[in-house]
Amino acid sequence: MGFFGMPRSFNKTLCHVIGDLSQIVNRYLLRDPGLSKMLAVTIDAFEESIPNLVSFASSPAGQSPWERVSNANVWRGSKETGEPDVAMETSLFPLLRNFLGHLATPSIMGQDFMNNYPEVLQDVWNLDYGLMYLIAGLPLWLPIPTLRRAARARERLNRQITELHRAMDIAEDGGDPGKEWRDLRDVGLVIKERHRVWRSHKIPPHLRADLPLLWAMNANAPSLTFWVILRILTNPSLVERIRAEIAPHVQVSQPHIGFGMTEPPRLKISMAGLRTGCPLLKSCYFETLRVDSAAWSVKRVVKDFVLTEDEKDARGGTKRSFALKTGEYINIPFGLHQSDPRYFHSPESFIGDRFLVQGADGKDEVDIGSLKPYGAGFAICKGRVFAEAEVLAFVASIIALWDFEPASAKGWEIPDHVKASGVALPKTDVRSTTTKNSLAMGKRKIGALEKVEADLSYREEFLLQYRHYESQRDIFMSSPSSATTVGLVSLRDLIDFLAHVAECYPALSSKFPEDLMRLLALHHSELEPELREKLVGSLVLLRKKEVIDSVVLLQTLFPILTTTQSKSLRTLLFQKILSDLRSSNAKTTNHRLNRTIQTVLFNLLTSDRSSSKGIWAVKLTRELWKRQIWTDSKAVEIMKEASLADNAKVAIGGVRFFLGGDKERQELDDESSDEDDGIDLGKLKHQTGVTKKTKKKAKTLNKAIAAVKRKERKKNQPHPLNFSAFHLLYDPQGLAESLFSKHLNRASSKLNLEQKLLVLQLVSRLVGLHKLTIISLYSYFLRYLTPRQPSVTSFLASLAQASHSLVPPDVLEPLIQKIANEFVSEAAAAEVASAGLNAIREICARQPLAMNGTLLQDLVMYRKSKDKGTVMAARGLLGLYREVGADMLRKRDRGKEATIGLKSGGRKEPRFGEVEGGEIEGLELLEEWKAEQRRKRREEKDELKDGLDEQEEEDEEDWGAWDVEEDDSDSSGGWINVDSEDEIEISDDDDKPPVKRARTREESLVNGVGGTGGKRDIMTSSLATTRILTPADLAKLQELKVQASVDKLMGNSKRQLKERDTDSPLTAADIESVAFLSAGKDKEARLAKAAAGRDGREDFKSKKAKKQEAKTSSTTNKQKARKKNFLMTLGKAKGKQKRSLVETRKALRGHLERQKRGGKRGNQG
């Protein structure tokens, strides 16, 4: 079994199960009743599928998989020349082989296996092509493409069979194998029995050797079928004899329905008759095995013996003997015997009746004599009986139903052989022309009829069928519940037929759509599922053919969707409605249809607010919003009405839309969008990755870049109507008040706590986003602000979202005080304290005036806590008030920048009701970059600021990038900018220019030089109001903003004040924040947790890591310095302290020179 991909150790395992597996093969492939069951399943598949061997479709989209691989071409003849109406030219071998493979594989492995792995047949063919190389044991590194393809196909097939067995294990244990394996009931009997044996012996799925069975069922039988049919077709008289012989056992019926058309022919195969009553066909089968196959077997000698030739084989009358030793192998090539003229007359010729003999009763029988087509001994083919019956049935069905003619004018040509493991393969292609055998085209003529413009010749037949339909419809309408099966089938077929051709006779079939709609509307609860599905499909087909419009279709289907109790019908109708709306709005927005459907949905919600029917309006609107089909305010108003419904399910559906609808739409857009945003990400990665590269840093960088790209794509979205649902509300104040009073502040509300929390999140987002005022909302929070409250972090997040700069501080101050009292105390758990501090910080970030100085000082002191989460939360609050309220902090807590700002008067404290004026986003980044560039140039030139004025420098660097030459004649005019902060001393000498007096360090600090106080604000304001930004400035500004975003996400920014988009929600996770850091505070617990994650990781180490561990090497000097005893480092530290000023300056100068060189080794970049 090694050449089928099984390890050598599997041979021992196979010894324990070979007996049980052989019994299964004997039971189902050699003896009845198991053999009859297997053949019955195969024959049913033949009877159903063989009429569809050739579809005569000219487009590959309409062809079957076996037709597409056979390079099919369709041509049409004419009656004048006697040619058939339509024929298809195909390659005969791939057509027959793939067709039989598509029948055999699902019958063995199940239809789900074929659906999940559509390329399985090609892998079987590739394995068969190279199996001889694998059996010979050739190494895979040899440059033989056939061998390598076979090895890869073998690996894929074993993996796919393993997945099937795993799914069967899960299903047998009562689990869900997944959506890929929906139905495992159609797996073949042999595989099911083998699976039972594998499980009983506890064989793992990857060692269950079912690949030989899959290969044997597909490798030889399809190829043999091709050779049998080709050999028969080369002899026209033989074709007629076989058709006459199989006629009683393969019956072809052609049901007529009038109208000049016929249904597809139907087959009825008698397997017993083919096996016993068709000797000529069986003789052709064995003759093909003799001519076109070369079976062989390998035997191992287990005991010494002497083999002597037979008299027939002896040459010159002298018989030879051969001594065979134990352990030797013997290859028995049966093909040599099959081509031996001493046993078979004219062995190179195909003689169809070669094996026919006359029996005792005078009838023909088959006697194969010394032919060994299946091998011999223990290695004889186990599936020979089943394969013989399968090939006979397939060949008989093909010859009875189809006509094959050679595509070449030379006639049929037998191709040369390509040696394979059993049946040979054709070396060259055989092209054939296929037509139906004296049978009409069936329903395929319907497609041709649809394209005929003048089809009046069929008017009477159409009227006949239409009257037949009306009679069947009246019979059904008189008693829908007692309709017979035959009547239902006839009515279903007539509806299907009329739906296809109704557009050809619009006047005669004008009432047909109305009949379907009335029948579906009145009796949808009583209809048979198949008839009901056919009615819906016919209406959709009429809509596609534009017999009816979308409004009529949707007005018919939607009321049924809201009233039916059938789950399958609801699913079908919802899919059809959604699909029709999508197709109607695919090219351009269909405003008329959208308005009609939106009105229906709106009326459905407002007519009865307590009904559960409104849930379909919610589902449909949410799906269309997610797919950006409906993006206007009317869709938002529908969901607003849904959120105010009395039915809890409908109301929560509307609330969830506002809380997650925009996120779903963005995620769907992110998945479908792959355009480049124009950002130089390569340069960005280089700038952020100059430090030591680690996997964690690379992962963080990738996330940061993805976030920046999403932000840029959202900002540059060209669609003018792609607004958030919150911004499309007509009256957000009214909606927030209605939600609060109806679902939250009413004692009779039917919502549970979880549902109320969702409504509260929606109300708080509306209040925070639109800066609404609902004073009673804040008192509602008081009862829930305790650590013992379930989902308390969600309540804290909602409270923070509901806070904004227009909320009176005296309203929020009691809430902050209660949070501080309940959550932030020495007795509270560390997680509780950090959550409380985070909540207070989020509230104060939106309304800083809600905090008083005394409470702030107490809360800031928690930065000295022993818990890391609490420390970080307290530092976050401290950093916030350093920015927005430094005067409330003690001087030592204010920080350098805040102290300078307060002293200079440049920092402006917030006041209630004050609204800041807007400015260009990120303009201060551009100003800082310009200042940094000027400083670098001055350092490089090592000269004082006596040259160009700052304003002239800026002009020169900005416009110089665009090659704009300045006219010298205009340089004499203009104004000179004088910095009012620099004091100018007037010299008494007229020849000397005024000299600027250098400012002292104290003056510089007060005026904000080197800080972020008033000087920076003045510079930004000056840059925004007195300068025209060039295209180079704008491009650099965009780059700096992207860099700042990445720095913030990467944690490189020194200022960690959190800025949140007004559209993005605040979640409980933001409140909990770093509370998880408190878990496992002791070192032993952390080490144990880390060690638990390392179990079993040794096997996944790279080869380089394993070699490095095995290699003995000393540590580096840097590693030794880290592990050096502390007392040994005191001497060097004391030596640094005793340096003189000259030594310190020398060391510093050397450090600066090494930096300019790029380090000690002079690395310049």
Q: What is the pLDDT of residues 142-164, one digit of tens each?
A: 888 888 998 999 999 999 999 99
Q: What confidence score (pLDDT) does residue 1012 get?
A: 41
Q: What confidence score (pLDDT) does residue 456 get?
A: 55
Q: What confidence score (pLDDT) does residue 1057 get?
A: 45
Q: What confidence score (pLDDT) does residue 76 get?
A: 61
Beta-bridge partner residues of 89: 73, 433
For residues 1000-1036, one letter each, b for 16 or more C-beta atoms within 10 angstroms of the residue's C-beta and e for the rest, the string is: eeeebbbbbbebbbbbbbbbbeebeeeeeebeebeeb
Q: Are 586 and 577 in contact (CB under 8 A)?
A: no
Q: What confidence score (pLDDT) does residue 704 get?
A: 75
The burial class, CB within 10 Å (0-12 / 13-18 / 19+), for 419 is exposed
d(CA 643, CA 635): 13
DSSP E strands, 238-374: 250-253, 266-269, 296-300, 305-308, 321-324, 329-333, 356-358, 364-366
Known binding site for heme: residues?
381
Q: What is the pTM of this model?
A: 0.48
Q: Which residue has the tokens 């840093």?
A: 697
Q: Are 90 and 67 in contact (CB under 8 A)?
A: yes
For residues 1134-1156, one letter each, b for 16 or more C-beta atoms within 10 angstroms of the residue's C-beta and e for the rest, the string is: eeeeeeeeeeeeeeeeeeeeeee
For the chain, residues with pLDDT lower than 70 are 1-2, 10, 76-85, 254-264, 316, 375-382, 436-457, 483, 661-693, 712-723, 906-907, 915-920, 940-1026, 1045-1064, 1073-1083, 1086, 1093-1101, 1111-1113, 1159-1165
pLDDT tens digit sequence for 605-657: 888 888 888 899 899 988 888 888 888 889 889 999 999 998 889 999 989 88
Q: Torsion-angle region of residue 868: left (phi > 0), alpha (psi -120 to 50) or beta?
A: alpha
DSSP structure string for 340-408: -TTTSSSTTS--TTTTEEE-TTS-EEE--TT--TT--GGGS-TTHHHHHHHHHHHHHHHHHHEEEEESS
Q: What confidence score (pLDDT) does residue 281 get?
A: 92
- 3-state class of 712 per DSSP? helix
Known binding site: residues?
381
Angle between helices 591-607 and 614-626 (to 10 degrees): 150
Q: What confidence score (pLDDT) does residue 716 get?
A: 59
- 3-state class of 697 per DSSP? helix
